[in-house]
Amino acid sequence: MRVLLINCLIFISSSVLAKTVTVDNVRIWAAPDSTRVVFDISGPVKHKFFTLSGPNRTVIDIKNSRLVKINNQPKSQDKYLKGIRSAIRNKNDLRIVLDLKKPIKHKIFQLQPNERYGHRLVIDLFDTEIKQVKKDEPRKEIKKDTQRPTKLRDVIIAIDAGHGGDDPGAIGPSGVYEKDVVLKLAKNLAKDINKERGMRAVLIRKGDYYIKLRNRIMKAREHKADLFVSIHADAFRDPRVRGSSVYVLSKKGASSEAAKWLAEKENSSDLVGGVSLENKDELVASVLLDLSQTASLEASIDVSTHVIKGLRKVGKVHKRSVQSAPFVVLKSPDIPSILIETGFISNPSEEKKLSDHKYRKKMSLAILQGLKGYFRDFAPEGTLLSLRKHIIERGDTLSTIAQRYQISANRIRKYNRIKGDLLRVGQTIIIPRNTDT
Ligand SMILES: [Zn+2]
């Protein structure tokens, strides 16, 4: 009888112990428009949360849990988070309090283990208002006027470094993270682009934090990007596989995305190619969307071809033709988008190369060459790159120049404010691209 009781006690205490989850570690990833707090937990937990004001704070209660220690506090410049503290409640439960700098929205969820981390409890903090793309402003201004536009704009290239924060991406054999090398390469590429006249880069991710895939597209739209370039480094189970490749959106990915845009058109304030799908007849909307997607895809294939040409000068190219896949970040219907796998980080020699800043510099210049080649073919109207220069040589007349560039003599005359037909040898004139006539 006594023995039985002891056995019973042991059973109860061990079952209580088995249920106790430990919170071992906290990581904080601050992004410009959100902060992610990640708690490493020894297993799935039951949690509740609520917010309090005056002062603002978020309270998370975790059942049957014990904190090892809070080993991290937010940086003073964190936009949302002031501090993290904890206390034991009802003997077995843990209360975690996030002290906030202002009222915020938040999302709390648990993540399953991945190759890098175990179970996690994640809290995303972000602003209560989310920026919307303006409804009544077309994304690209189309000038029908043949007069010289007063101000020519730069082409805008959105550069998206893959992964980030708690998502390391692929991991090389000696422990190099994809998220780190692609961010360095993206920053390098942005710097190279910004040195070019008529081109401007926008970095979608600037630091070590994660951005949801759809939000990467949104950010590119907010910046009115003319081109979206996502940078990654592949991994494969066979470490011998190496080389770079370039992807565009697959037909299947495009059609499923079209269905999504059409389904959402009623409440979408977004624009496709400068046209709102809202209040459009179903058929008209689908035709407009299809036209826009087809044009973007053609442009994406063109830019990929140019980039592959550039990459072949740097090293081995894994696939010489443009690849297609239903990657979410490539799904903008009206922004030509490509994804560059810069190499296989799972290959020891490519892991080493991607970690070397000299190699990344070479790769960045090769990608830039590709982008420049593309904009020679597809410079959007109203941009500095859409102009060509012609220096007048002996024998040139307005009509021979017009013929050569397949444009009307009158348009050249108006654009350059030339009176009559008088040209001077050595004079530079500008030939507008012919896309708006
Ligand atoms: Zn990746």
**269: Cα separation from own chain's centroid:** 21
For residue 235, report the distance from its CA to the centre of ligand 1, in Å.
8
Strand partners, 10: none
How many other C-beta atoms lie within 10 A of the C-beta of residue 57? 16
Q: Residue 113 Cα, ligand 1 centroid: separation in angstroms?
A: 18
Cα–ligand 1 centroid distance for 341 (angstroms): 7
CA distances (Å), 2 to each of 10, 15, 16, 172, in order? 13, 20, 21, 58
- For residue 176, the CA-to-ligand 1 centroid distance in Å is 13
Counting as low any pLDDT under 50, the low residues of the chain are: 1-18, 133-149, 435-437
Ligand 1 center from residue 231 Cα (angstroms):
7
| Correct CATH for 155-378 of 1.20.120.850, 3.40.630.40, 3.40.50.300, 2.40.10.220 | 3.40.630.40
**Residue-wise DSSP of 274-316:** TEE-TT--HHHHHHHHHHHHHHHHHHHHHHHHHHHHHHTTTS-
DSSP-derived letter for residue 166 is T
Which amino acid, residue 351?
E
Q: How far is the CA of 169 from the centre of ligand 1 (A)?
A: 5
In the reported structure, the alpha carbon of residue 234 is separated from the centroid of ligand 1 by a whole-number distance in angstroms of 6
Separation of 87 CA from ligand 1 center, angstroms? Answer: 39
Classify domain 17-126 by CATH architecture.
Sandwich (2.60)
Taking the centre of ligand 1 as the mean of its atom positions, its distance from the CA of residue 147, in whole angstroms, is 46
Q: Ligand 1 centre from 164 Cα, in Å?
A: 10
Q: How far is the CA of 228 from the centre of ligand 1 (A)?
A: 15
Report how far ligand 1's centroid is from the alpha carbon of 210 (Å): 12
φ and ψ of 275, to 5 deg: -120, 135
Residues listed for the chain: 437
The highest-level CATH class for domain 386-436 is alpha beta
CA atoms within 13 A on the CB side of 295: 15
Rounded distance from Cα 233 to ligand 1 centre (Å): 5
| C-alpha 77 to ligand 1 mean position (Å) | 29
- Rounded to the nearest whole angstrom, what is the distance from the C-alpha of residue 53 to the centroid of ligand 1? 40
- Quote the ligand 1 centre to 184 CA distance (angstroms): 14
- Domain residue limits, the chain: 17-126, 155-378, 386-436
107 C-alpha vs ligand 1 centroid, how far in Å? 25
Residue 201 pairs in a beta bridge with 157
Nearest Cα to Cα of residue 225 among 372, 380, 432: 380
Greatest Cα-to-Cα distance within the chain, rounded to the nearest angstrom: 118
CA distance 386 to 415: 13
CA–centroid distance, 241 to ligand 1, in Å, is: 16
Q: How far is the CA of 167 from the centre of ligand 1 (A)?
A: 10
Residues with CB under 5 A from ligand 1 (ion): 162, 169, 232
What pLDDT is recorded for position 345?
93
Instruction: Report CA(312)–ligand 1 centroid distance (Å).
Output: 21
Model's pTM, two decimal places? 0.74
Say how many Å lie between the CA of residue 348 and the centre of ligand 1: 17
Q: 182 alpha carbon to ligand 1 midpoint, in Å?
A: 9
CA distance 48 to 46: 7
Tokens linked to 187: 């920053």
Going from the C-alpha of 101 to that of each of 114, 280, 299, the distances in angstroms are: 32, 43, 45
325 Cα to the center of ligand 1, angstroms: 13
- Whole-angstrom Cα distance, residue 133 to residue 130? 10
Strands annotated E in 105-217:
105-111, 120-126, 155-161, 199-203
Three-class secondary structure of residue 263 per DSSP: helix
Instruction: Please tell me the predicted confidence (pLDDT) of residue 117.
Output: 84
Q: What's residue 295's pLDDT? A: 85
Please give the distance, rounded to the nearest whole angstrom, from the Cα atom of residue 177 to the centre of ligand 1: 10
Could you check whether the bond before residue 44 is cis, i.e. omega within 30 degrees of 0?
A: no
Domains 155-378 and 386-436 share a fold: no
